[in-house]
Amino acid sequence: MTSRAARSSIVIVVVVLLGAAWLSMNRVPAQTPATAAGSLPRMADGKPDLSGIWQVLNAAAWNIQDHQASKGVPAGQGVVEGNEIPYLPMALAQRNENFKNRLTADPETKCFQPGVPRMMYMPYPFQIIQTPTYIGLLFEYVHTTRHIRMNSEHPEGPIEWALGDTRARWEGDTLVTDVIHFNDDTWFDRAGNFHSEQLHLVERFTMLDRDHLNYEVTVEDPKVFSRPWKMSMPFYRRIEKNIQILDYECQSFDS
C-alpha cells in the first residue's frame, strides 16, 4: 500500500471509530433485559427480589380507561391495552348502569374490599414480602393481605373470595400468577367496570430496574367479556428514607 493509501485508511478507520463512539454516547441507553437483569436486587435463590414498598402513579382506581377530569376525579390515560373493554352486550348495559349509580353502587363506597386487580392500583402504598415459597402483598388500604403461594395448587371450589386465590411460579425473571375463586362483589374501578365470579386473572410482575416493577394483568371472564383483555402499568418503589405502610381503616371514620 502506498503511504497515501495507508494514511487514507487510517483516517477512515479513525473517523469510523470516532463516529461509532459519538453515536454510542448520544444513543439513549436501552434497558435491555441483560442490562436490567444485572442491576436487580436478587434473592439467595437467584430470583428477582420484589421486596419493598410500591405504589402506582395513575388514575386507574377511578377509571381504568382514558377519561377526563371531573369533580374529585383526576384525568387519566387508561391502563387498558387498546383502551377497549370487550363487554358482552348485556354486560355493557350493566356497566353503564353501574357508572350512572357509581357513587352508591360501587362496593368500595361502603368500605368493602376493592378486590383484585383494583387493590393493586388503589392510590395507597403496599408492601411486598418475599420468601421462596410465599409472597405476601400487604396493602395500606383497609389492611388487606394478598397471599401468593408458589408452585402449588388452588384449593378445590366452589369458593368465592373478594381477592380470589393466587398461585404463582417464576418464568425466568417474571413472576406469573394465576388467580381464580372470585366473588362478584368487587369492581375494577369507580367507573362501574365489573366482573362475575368466573373472573380469571393471569398477572405478570417484571422488575424493569431496582425501582420500577412492571405489572401486567390479563382478564378473562366468559360471563362478562367476549374475549380476554389486558391492563398494564408500572409500580414505583417508595424510596423515601424510613418509609413504612401506615393505615386506612375505611369503616372507622363513620362508625
Partner 1 sequence: MTTLVSRWTLRVSVLVAAIIVLVFSGLSRSAIGQAPVPFRTPPPGSPPAKIRPYGQFAGCSEEPALFHRCAMEKAKTFVPPRTPDGKPDFQGYWGRIGIRNLENIEEHPESLDGSGGRSSIVDPPDGRIPYQPWAAAKRDAHFEKYLDAGQYCLPDGAPRFAWGATKFVVQTPGYVFMLNDYADTYRIIPTDGRPHLGPDIRLWQGDLRGRWEGNTLVIDATNQLAETTLDHIGNFISPDAKVVERATMIDKDVIYYTATIEDAKVFTRPWTVAFGWRRNPNPKYESWEQGCWEGVQSSLKYTDEGRKRSRGAFEK
Partner 2 sequence: MRKLLLLMIGFGLCWAAAPALAHHSFAAEFDASKEVTLKGTLTKLEWVNPHGWLHINVKGPDGKVESWAVEAGGATALMRAGVRQTDFKPGVELTVQGFLAKNGTNTVAGREVKTADGRNFFLGGQQPGRGAP
The residues binding partner 2 (CB under 8 A) are: 157-160
131 contacts which partner out of partner 1, partner 2, none, CB within 5 to 8 A by kind? partner 1
203 contacts which partner out of partner 1, partner 2, none, CB within 5 to 8 A by kind? none
Residue 165 CB, nearest distance to partner 1 (Å)?
A: 8
Q: Which C-beta is closer to partner 1: that of 7 or that of 147?
A: 147
Task: Give backbone dihedrals phi and psi of 157, rounded to 5 degrees, phi first.
Answer: -85, -170
255 contacts which partner out of partner 1, partner 2, none, CB within 5 to 8 A by kind? partner 1
138 contacts which partner out of partner 1, partner 2, none, CB within 5 to 8 A by kind? partner 1
Residue 35 CB, nearest distance to partner 1 (Å)?
A: 26
Q: Are the C-beta atoms of 155 and 165 separated by less than 8 Å?
A: yes
Query: What is the residue-wise DSSP string for 195-251?
Result: --TT-EEEEEEEEEETTEEEEEEEEE-TTTBSS-EEEEEEEEE--STT-----B-GG
Which grid coordinates are listed for 99? 357508572
Residue 42 CB, nearest distance to partner 1 (Å)?
A: 13
111 contacts which partner out of partner 1, partner 2, none, CB within 5 to 8 A by kind? partner 1
SS3 state of residue 67: strand
Q: Which C-beta is closer to partner 2: that of 98 or that of 183?
A: 183
Q: Which C-beta is closer to partner 1: that of 58 or that of 127?
A: 127
> Per residue in 69-103, is it b (16+ CB within 10 Å) or e — as a string?
eeeeeeebebbbeeeebebeeebeeebeebbeebe
Which grid coordinates are listed for 54? 410500591
